[in-house]
Amino acid sequence: MRIEDYALVGDCHSAALIARDGSIDWLCWPRFDSCACFAALLGRPEHGRWRITPSEKYSVSRKYRTDTLILETSFECAEGAATLIDFMPMRDQHCNLVRIVVGTRGRVAFDMEFILRFDYGASVPWVTKLAEAEGRTAGIRAIAGPDMAVLRSPVPLQGKGLSTVARFEVGEGERRAFVLSHGASHLEVPPAIDAEAALEHTEKFWRDWSARCQTKGEWSGAVRRSLITLKALTYAPTGGIVAAPTTSLPEMIGSVRNWDYRYCWLRDATITLLALMNGGYTEEAACWRDWLARAVAGSPQQLQIMYGIGGERRLPEAILSWLPGYEGSAPVRVGNAAAGQLQLDVYGEVMDALHQARKQGIAREDASWDLQRKLLEHLETCWHEPDEGLWEVRGPRRRFTHSKVMCWVAFDRAIRAAEQYGLPGPVPRWREVRARIHDDVCRRAWRPKLNHFAQSYGSDDLDASLLLIPMTGFLPCSDPRVKSTIEAIQRELTIDGFVQRYRTRRALDGLPPGEGVFLACSFWLADALCLLGRRDEARKLFERLLELANDVGLLAEEYDPASGRLLGNFPQAFSHVALVNTALNLSEHDKPAEQRSEKRAA
């Protein structure tokens, strides 16, 4: 299946990807970053999948129930029609994944194929009938190492090779339920749950949550779907938000640019916070802020660009050689070596996020301010150093312009916090450092002959991160240098109007060239055009970006204009957060771009 052929269900602990043909091809249990027990997404059916599909030829359509994460896939056959309902109940102790087949017309025969493979498709479990485990007849138990999964259904299940299969029929009004539960193999079998009651409770949870959304206007549907997706990518116990629930979906089909995104990036902190707060989700914003403060706590020299969903620091990268990769895009990676990179922009991101939280009244003034001051003490000694930059290049370190701009942001937000809230700090020295960084960027990153800022000092390359210069407040859009840089990016770094991050080449990032356009960067261009007063142009670009979402409103990280396909890990929090903020920039009085730059519409 194409990446856009998948939909997401989740329970704010983990998530599953379900294809249009009713196959669950990706699921990590019990956490987003756990090993997958269905990994066909990155391999073949034998690496794990759970498929429920009509036995005869069918046409298919699907949708989420209004304001929920409950997926309904409708199959139309010659002799009847049926709907497959997929969801994950909000968990208390155990993880559950529920599938209910409902007959809606005539009679439809279905085939069920269940191939469970723990450890990313590597471990074939030992399967026994549930009767042997707990005295019941309807189900099976599968165990491999520390993991146990239990599949229950009134439908008779049969072993076939190293899989479990079933054939059943549903008539109009009939319902057949399947419940898959996960637990530790050394504990008791997870208790059975009532599938219909779980459906009712899950629908109530999501509709109650969606009812809190405060956004209005013509794009409120897309904004609400993006906020629901963002909530689904939140790890409830800690408030951390994963960049995506997948690993190694390629940035170009057949390429080696395949990364594990099941972690939390600091680069997303401020725009995520603003999207949640402006959407009316103050509680979720506070949880994200708290996760951020806990994750970065410690020695300022050890600040990382990303952390695990619980704040874990060690994210060692490994290659899963037995998986061939999505459409042959190898290698398949788990873990992320970029966690050990130096990215100076994260200091500004942390300071900006905590400043925005403070402005909205959700900041805690206990040890948070002391931590921020320590971060600045360290940054004062190293802001001029080269780093790997926002895009985590795996080539030589450079003095990236965006990194220096965000160092300026770090000191700027500290000065504002001290001035606006009376917080203690060496403000005169901070002002001096801020001015020094500003002068350094304007002198060394500006290319007069090219009439634009460059990706890094001494380079002539453009970079989409330069679009953030006016959003951060470093320079206003009225500055001719900003205007000409935006126009240069629009002229030289776009394909069919959509924005590339930069011109990929091995000399820059140590990898073979080639990737799709980056959706978040394309939303940034719309934001920049809006700040320039070119609202009609910004609106047109935004509406084109909305059309790239799949049939259930989900976006990946990138898009290939040539093939018309989504690329990269999916669904991508960065893309959906950018969608929310751009929609608000185009429609709300209190715009995120102006909130962040400390400007207000006249």
Token pair, residue 165, equals 């299969």
CA distance 386 to 409: 17
Question: Measuring CA to CA, how many Å separate 414 from each of 355, 407, 411, 555?
Answer: 8, 11, 5, 35
Instruction: Return the C-alpha torsion angle 327, 330, 333, 339, nearest 10.
Output: -110
CA distance 5 to 23: 11
Which pLDDT belongs to residue 511? 74
Whether residue 601 has pLDDT greater than 60: no
Which pLDDT belongs to residue 373? 93
Confidence of residue 561 (pLDDT cuts 50, 70, 90): very high
Q: What is the pTM of this model?
A: 0.95
Which pLDDT belongs to residue 139? 92
Mean pLDDT in residue range 407-426: 95
Give the sign of the dihedral formed by CA 152, CA 193, CA 143, CA 323.
Answer: positive
CA distance 56 to 45: 20
SS3 21: coil
% of the chain exceeding 70 in pLDDT: 97
List, in sequence order, every residue forming a beta bridge with 152; answer none if it has no partner: 139, 179
Higher pLDDT, 392 or 553: 553
Mean pLDDT in residue range 279-291: 92
Token pair, residue 180, equals 């898959």
Which pLDDT belongs to residue 365? 58
Residues 6+ apart with CB under 8 A from 262: 28, 32, 33, 242, 243, 244, 245, 246, 247, 309
The HSE-up count of residue 444 (CA atoms within 13 Å, CB side) is 17
Exposed/middle/buried for residue 357 (C-beta within 10 Å: 0-12, 13-18, 19+) = buried
Which pLDDT belongs to residue 473? 95
Q: What are residue 585's phi and psi, to 5 degrees?
A: -60, -30
Summarised one tens digit per residue, pLDDT across range 73-99 is 999 999 999 999 999 999 888 899 999
Whether residue 35 has pLDDT greater than 60: yes
- 3-class SS letters over 23-40: EEEEEECCCCCCCEEECH
Q: What are residue 115's phi and psi, to 5 degrees?
A: -120, 105
Residue 185 C-alpha from the chain's centroid: 30
Residues 6+ apart with CB under 8 A from 18: 6, 7, 8, 9, 24, 25, 71, 73, 86
Mean pLDDT in residue range 311-323: 96
SS3 75: strand
Q: Are both 7-209 and 212-597 of the same fold?
A: no
Which pLDDT belongs to residue 507? 66
Cis peptide bond N-terminal to 154, omega within 30: no
Confidence of residue 600 (pLDDT cuts 50, 70, 90): very low
Summarised one tens digit per residue, pLDDT across range 112-140 is 999 999 999 999 999 999 864 454 557 99
Which pLDDT belongs to residue 360? 84
Give the sign of the dihedral formed by CA 554, CA 86, CA 75, CA 204.
Answer: negative
Confidence of residue 364 (pLDDT cuts 50, 70, 90): low
Whether residue 349 has pLDDT greater than 90: yes
Mean pLDDT in residue range 370-394: 93
CA distance 256 to 504: 13
Sole residue written with tokens 């900006």: 352
Which pLDDT belongs to residue 234? 97
Which pLDDT belongs to residue 218? 87
By the 8 A CB rule, do 599 and 546 touch? no
Mean pLDDT in residue range 312-326: 96
Mean pLDDT of the chain: 93
By the 8 A CB rule, do 549 and 542 touch? no
By the 8 A CB rule, do 409 and 472 touch? yes
CATH architecture under which domain 7-209 falls: Distorted Sandwich (2.70)
CA distance 89 to 201: 8
Q: What is the CA radius of gyration of the chain?
A: 25
Confidence of residue 503 (pLDDT cuts 50, 70, 90): confident
The residue extents of the domains of the chain are: 7-209, 212-597
List, in sequence order, every residue forming a beta bridge with 333; answer none if it has no partner: 319
SS3 588: coil
Confidence of residue 489 (pLDDT cuts 50, 70, 90): very high
Give the sign of the dihedral formed by CA 209, CA 210, CA 215, CA 216.
Answer: negative
The set of long-range contacts for 60-65, using a CB threshold of 8 Å and a minimum separation of 24, is 60/20, 60/21, 61/551, 62/7, 62/20, 62/551, 62/552, 63/551, 63/552, 64/7, 64/225, 64/552, 64/553, 65/203, 65/206
Residues 6+ apart with CB under 8 A from 117: 37, 38, 39, 46, 47, 48, 123, 124, 125
CA distance 440 to 474: 12
Whether residue 540 has pLDDT greater than 80: yes
By the 8 A CB rule, do 354 and 280 touch? no
By the 8 A CB rule, do 360 and 282 touch? yes
Which pLDDT belongs to residue 602? 28
Which pLDDT belongs to residue 270? 87
SS3 100: strand
Sole residue written with tokens 């989740």: 10
Q: What are residue 178's phi and psi, to 5 degrees?
A: -130, 130
Residues 6+ apart with CB under 8 A from 399: 384, 385, 386, 387, 444, 456, 457, 458
CA distance 582 to 538: 9
Summarised one tens digit per residue, pLDDT across range 139-198 is 999 999 999 999 999 999 999 999 999 999 999 999 999 999 999 999 999 999 999 999
CA distance 72 to 66: 11
Residue 32 C-alpha from the chain's centroid: 11
Whether residue 399 has pLDDT greater than 80: yes
DSSP-assigned letters across all residues of 500-547: PSS---HHHHSS-S---EEHHHHHHHHHHHHHTT-HHHHHHHHHHHHT
> Is the CATH number of domain 212-597 3.40.50.2300?
no
% of the chain exceeding 90 in pLDDT: 84
The set of long-range contacts for 202-210, using a CB threshold of 8 Å and a minimum separation of 24, is 202/68, 202/69, 202/70, 202/87, 202/88, 202/89, 202/90, 203/65, 203/68, 203/70, 205/90, 206/65, 206/67, 206/68, 206/69, 206/70, 207/66, 207/67, 207/68, 210/67, 210/68
How many beta carbons lie within 10 A of that of residue 392, not counting itself?
18
β-strand pairing of 306-307 with 494-495: unpaired
Cis peptide bond N-terminal to 428, omega within 30: no
